[in-house]
Chain A
Amino acid sequence: MSRVGVVVFPGSNCEHDVVAALSALGGRAELVWHAETDLSAYDALVLPGGFAHGDYLRPGALARFSPVMEAVAAAAEAGRPVLGICNGFQVLTEAGLLPGALQKNRGLTFLCQPTTLVVVSTRSVLTRAAHVGDELVVPINHFAGSYVCDDATYRALLEGDQVVLRYADNPNGSRGDIAGIANAAGNVVGLMPHPERALHALLGSADGRVLLEGFLAAADDAAASARLVAAP
């Protein structure tokens, strides 16, 4: 079975929820402290939600300098699945692993509410198990979740099939209703909604399952190919 590392910065707060969700789906997830510089033991990585380093300066701006981030970039470069949820998405954009940036919500208030997401592309480690056009109810929980980018970047995202999730009813003013994007290779994904909060009908929705199940399958694939490479 693959191993997923869930990176904990001081100020992260969704790390336990992500571990619980991946474990509930049969995955093997472990917390990794932000001072760690060797991530070779992990087949896939999650940067969870929260307020890394207090979100001081702006969300993600300090976290990109955490010691762990060089190894995260190397894992992304090597094609391993990397998922940034909420604050994790903000960190990935600040670190240059995903294009664009996340600004304060249109209404200038924090928003915690369910949203309906539309699957736009299945060419990513997060959406590979879903179908284009699927509607998924997944909550958001952020102050700075309005996705922005310049025109050239937006065109490139569209041409590269890198917009993976859009809001059906844009809550925060994101450009093009974007809720989640991937890098060109599809192995690095960031999204503002929290799929780990939509795992059980008891908690309001189980629609996040298809996303995290896809991510775990991608982690398993990465583990399998790593074993192939390692075999003489």
Chain B
Amino acid sequence: MTGFPGGAAADQKARFQESRDRPPVRDRENRELERSRFPVKPERLRGLEGNFVVWRFIAKRLLETAVVVLGVSVIVFVLLRIMPGDPVQLLFGEGDDADLAASREMYRQMLGLDRPLPVQYLIFLKEIFTLHLGNSLVRGGEPVIQMVGRALPLTIELSIFALVIGLLIAIPVAVLCALKQNTFWDRGGTGFALIGASMPNFWQGILLIMFLAVWMPVFPVSGVLAQHITIERITGAPFTDAVLTGNWEGARSAFMHLVLPATTLGTTLSGQFVRVLRSSLLEVKHQEFVHAFRARGIGEPTIVSHLLHNALPTTVVIIGMRIGMLLSGTIVIETLFAYPGMGFLLVQGINARDFPVVQGVVVLLTVLVVLSNLIADIIHAWLDPRVKLAYQKGK
């Protein structure tokens, strides 16, 4: 070493050495912050702290779910009771009883429908929290939880298929629109999205039946399975169960029966996804890193993959929000295709004023919608680190 004069040089050297040993200001501040949060050495907890924030977030959302369910239970209970028409009246119909009114009143008492409304509501709440959900008023007293247990797997499987079809259509169309912005391809894709989102899915379903099941019998018209096939029940979802049990004939039959209803639902979804994904892709496409990639000669497929990775988080949030629509869209499609899922159950229940069925299905669908939004938010955080960081900083 050269240049430092005498004693002053030694001081300077010492001060230089001291400054090298002292940690940088920013790191010191962070460590003080961590020490103030955690009584033990923060280094050992750094990984745990991240998980704790996520779990706290999930717990908070689950608590919110319980509050939402309580609110929905009140609304559905009250709405069903103030709606005109009652289940016993519908059940007895024309009635060839010599004294129809007396018969109906007696049956109303047997079912407990003469009890005060607050009592009926408390019974309903108890049924929700014990996961019993009551007994059907019109299906010979069948437990609602059994009816839901049959219908829910069918709806979930149909919804997943519809979602997959929706994404399989939407992703390539949106990418094409974004890459070929303001061209014929972009306008065609946007037009397709508009048609998909606007076309009534009942009519679309009928068209698919006529073209692909009647005039050109490629797929079955309706139902869940071919009538000679039985599948061992594991989850209650026929395609899944057939695959799990290695029943390939059953899997093929279940798949063929899913195609038309799932396509009807999926094309409606794809219309909505195309619009959202296209907007996100266009936003990402003009960012500097994309120009940098192109300048460095990186291939288009790699660039598209990066575009999607950055654009998908927003779409995932939209998917989460659309789950509710998907589940409720099955009401029409399940009836049209004789696919006895939750929508089918709900329609039956409403038409018959089967209070326990409608209450049980609505509460369950509410839970599903809220949980699917939660899952979408978690996936969003996983895909987008900025969101996770915002959670960790308490934003």
- The reply to whether chain A is a binding partner of chain B is no
Residues of chain A having any CB pair with chain B under 8 Å: none
Residues of chain B having any CB pair with chain A under 8 Å: none
